[in-house]
């Protein structure tokens, strides 16, 4: 939550005195902020536009948000969370925290990719996806049918 003044004129804040706020990016009229505690552990992400706070990830289960690509209605973000068994998963969310895609093993954005296209890994495939989760190009994560270790025999 942002600092401000309440109706009685008293300063109000949703942050602790040791919290650190970092600007992670500004795209499409929105600003992504990362809030860290005194140990530099990210505690939540905040998204603002000119009207104020759009999304606060506090309590969402997301570890952090990072800018991903522009969607039809503004910026989209990679929201990371721990999945079953402790592995990390990525969801694609909009500026209000609405989930567009969920459960990706990895997701990233490249400078050479057009808006609306992301690099992703889901299951045993990796490649490029559109924002509906359709593969534009995919390949297997496996490079061969056998283990590459020379001491492995069938």
Task: Give strand pairing partners of 106.
Answer: 121
Query: What is the value of pTM for the model shown?
Result: 0.77
What are the residues whose beta carbons fall under 8 Å from the beta carbon of 126, sequence distance 6 or more? 106, 119, 120, 138, 139, 141
**pLDDT on residue 1:** 39
Residue stretches of the chain with pLDDT short of 70: 1-17, 144-154
For residue range 108-139, list pLDDT tens digits in order: 877 788 989 999 999 999 999 999 999 999 99
CA dist 54 → 30, 46, 57, 65, 112 (Å):
9, 8, 10, 14, 29
| Of residues 54, 33, 65, 58, the one with CA closest to residue 43 | 58
**pLDDT on residue 10:** 45
Residue keyed to tokens 């600003």: 31
**pLDDT on residue 26:** 93
- Joined together, the tokens standing for residue 129 give 């996806």
Residue 43's Cβ-count burial label (10 Å; 0-12, 13-18, 19+) is middle
């Amino acid at each position: 939550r942002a600092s401000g003044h309440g109706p009685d004129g008293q300063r109000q804040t949703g942050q602790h005195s040791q919290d650190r706020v970092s600007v992670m990016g500004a795209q499409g009229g929105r600003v992504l902020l990362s809030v860290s505690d005194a140990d530099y552990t990210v505690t939540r992400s905040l998204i603002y536009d000119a009207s104020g706070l759009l999304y606060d990830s506090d309590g969402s289960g997301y570890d952090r948000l990072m800018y991903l690509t522009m969607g039809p209605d503004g910026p989209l973000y990679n929201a990371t969370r721990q999945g079953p068994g402790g592995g990390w998963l990525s969801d694609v969310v909009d500026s209000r925290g609405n989930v567009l895609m969920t459960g990706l093993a990895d997701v990233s954005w490249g400078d050479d990719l057009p808006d609306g296209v992301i690099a992703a890994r889901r299951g045993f495939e990796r490649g490029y996806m559109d924002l509906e989760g359709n593969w534009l190009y995919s390949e297997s994560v496996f490079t061969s049918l056998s283990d590459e270790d020379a001491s492995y025999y069938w």
